[in-house]
Structure 1
Amino acid sequence: MAGRQGAGTRVACGIGLRLWRARRGVAALEAALILPVMIVFLVGFMETGWQLLTVMVLQNGAEDAARFIETGHTASGGTCASLPDLVAGSSGGILRAAQVHVSAEPRPDSTAFYTFSYTQAYFTPWMSMLVGQAAMRHSVRVLIHDTAPKACAPA
Structure 2
Amino acid sequence: MKNHGVRIAAVATAAALALGISGAQACANAAASAQSDIENGTPGTSENRETGIGAFETRGDDVHWSHTVKGNLNAHGWWVNKGGPAKKAKVTVQLQVQEGKKWRTLRTASKTVYSGGGSAKRAAAAWKCTNLILKNSFRSVIDVDLVGYKDDPHKKITPTKTFYCGVH
Q: TM-score range by the shorter chain?
A: 0.3 to 0.5
Q: Which structure shows the higher helix fraction?
A: 1
TM-score normalized by structure 1? Answer: 0.35
Q: Which has the higher strand share?
A: 2
